[in-house]
Amino acid sequence: MTTSPEQTDLPVYPVARPSKCPYRPAAEHVQMREPGPMTKVRLYNGRTAWLVTGGAQARNVLSDYRRVSIRPYHGNYPLLNEEFEKVVDSGYADVLFGVDPPEHTRQRQMIMPSFTLRRTAKLRADIQRIVDEKLDDVERNGQPADLVKLFAQPVPSMVMSLLLGVPYEDHEEFETPAHKLFVPELAEQATVELGEYLDRLIQKKENSPGTGITGLLDDLIVDYLHKDALTRSELVHIAMAMLVAGTDTTTNVISLGTLALLDNPEQWEALRDDLSLVPAAVEEILRYVSLVEAFARVAVGDIDLGGHQIKEGEGILISCAGVNFDPATTPDPDKFDIRRPAKPSFSFSHGIHRCPGDNLARLELEIAFRTLVQRFPNLRPAIPVEEMGSNNNDGTLQRLYEFPVVW
């Protein structure tokens, strides 16, 4: 496609995070909100999209499911890089966070009973056991220990396995393709591998109901699959979506949040000395890390918003950092401060596609950070922050590939 002269004058999006501070969005990203709550940006493929950075405008867009679509197959759906194109082509986004009502409504109603506050609270003891076990592994490993490999990665994976009824002893069968999903040249094959594993697991559960570890998958089989209210393909993709989304995000918040605390030692010390700060610390970490670059949508009708008109067919990116760093809602937003009054961040999105697992994620993070600071009060990075491997320039979920620590 050709790019018009006016398009080349637009700011390029996304903006790489600084290697010295991978746990927060770049200042240039946050500054994109200065011209106003909505602006046009240019993507890697030359296409343009609206970038929404104002809190009110963001919530308006995410609530307008009649004129705004989440389906990634619209021609102008704003993909952030080639990697996203491969993930979309793989079929990974064919359920839940890739479909509109009524499909989305039907699918979400099936899983939401497992993510209520009451159901989630019943997992507290199991999550605490898992966190304790993985921190035992960190200690047994000796110094330095990779906090990503030994703690941040296995804890969410084990929790989601427990919730879904996926045997954790199979973790290599689902973790390996799950990680490949976000490598462009491997995404399609990874989807096939993960889908085949989950299909085998579902068949096994059907053939031997009530045996082995049971969970949400078993409920969906009995309540929906066997009543022809859910196809096998849908069930496989729902399981895939929850397994990947429920592990990768929490892993990255644990590792990046720990780095943010340690790179601001007064914050680590405050948490260490006053564990009542843990809930507020979790919210501040979610806000400051702003893990998801943006929530992507496409207009399926004209929308007048913020003094601008979004035309039908135009792409929309709702900036997570733009909203989370909005001084209108967060005083002195550039400051990382776990003493702020606990206030839900924008990091789980808003509207009908708000993350269904936010209660579970918060519980995991609270237990993880509380226990980590208790067990390792003198924890510190073993190498300079800028030497840690991260993907600070590709616009996908921000992550640390390694996090060596000593104590």
Q: From CA 223, how far away is CA 337, in angstroms rounded?
A: 45
Task: Quote the distance between the C-alpha of residue 80 and its chain's center.
Answer: 15
Q: Give me the amino acid identity at 351.
A: G
| Alpha-carbon distances, residue 201 vs 40, 170, 198, 217, 355 (angstroms) | 45, 10, 5, 9, 25
Other beta carbons within 10 Å of 67: 14
Structural tokens at position 280: 């507020």
Domain ranges of the chain: 5-406
Q: Which helix (H) or strand (E) holds 235?
A: helix 232-263
Residue 393's pLDDT is what?
58
Per-residue pLDDT, 163: 95
Answer for the pair 263, 224: CB distance below 8 angstroms, yes or no: no
- The tens place of each residue's pLDDT in the chain, 407 residues long, gives 334 434 568 999 998 888 889 999 988 888 888 888 999 999 988 999 999 999 999 999 999 999 999 999 888 899 887 766 766 666 667 889 899 999 999 999 999 999 999 999 999 999 999 999 999 999 999 999 999 999 999 999 999 999 999 998 998 888 888 877 766 677 778 888 999 999 999 999 999 998 888 999 999 999 999 999 999 999 999 999 998 889 989 999 999 999 999 999 999 999 999 999 999 999 999 999 999 989 999 999 999 998 899 999 999 999 999 999 999 889 999 999 999 988 888 999 999 999 999 999 999 999 999 999 999 999 999 999 989 988 865 666 788 999 999 99
Tell me if 134 sits within 8 A of 367, measured CB to CB.
Answer: no
C-alpha–C-alpha distance, residues 23 and 17, integer Å: 8
Helix, strand or coil, per DSSP, at residue 108: helix
Q: How far lies 133's CA from each of 145, 154, 277, in Å?
A: 15, 10, 24
The class of domain 5-406 in CATH terms is mainly alpha
At position 303, the amino acid (one-letter code) is I
The SS3 of residue 400 is strand
Report the sign of the C-alpha dihedral through residues 105, 110, 357, 394, in that order.
negative
Q: Are strands 404-406 and 308-310 parallel, antiparallel or unpaired?
A: unpaired
**With b meaning 16 or more CB within 10 Å and e meaning fewer, what string describes 263-292?**
bbeebbebbbeeeebbbbbbbbbbbbbbbb
Rounded to whole angstroms, how far apart are CA atoms 128 and 120?
13
Q: What is the pLDDT of residue 395?
A: 64
Q: What is the DSSP letter of 146?
A: E
268: its two tokens: 């680590």
Question: Taking the mean position of all CA atoms in its chain, how far away is CA 104?
Answer: 18
Cβ neighbours around 304 below 10 Å, total: 8
- Answering whether pTM is above 0.75, one says yes
Closest CA to 290 of 263, 330, 339, 234: 330
* Distance between CA atoms of residues 189 and 90, nearest Å: 8
303-305/404-406 β-pairing: unpaired
For the residues of 312-358, what is the DSSP string, one character each?
TT-EEEEEHHHHHT-TTTSSSTTS--TTSPP---STT--GGGS-TTH
How far is residue 236 CA from its own chain's centroid? 20
Amino acid at 308: H
Residue 87 has a pLDDT of 67
* Structural element, H or E, at residue 402: none
Measured distance CA(77)–CA(313) in Å, rounded: 8
Spatial neighbors of 132 by CB under 8 A, at least 6 apart, are 371
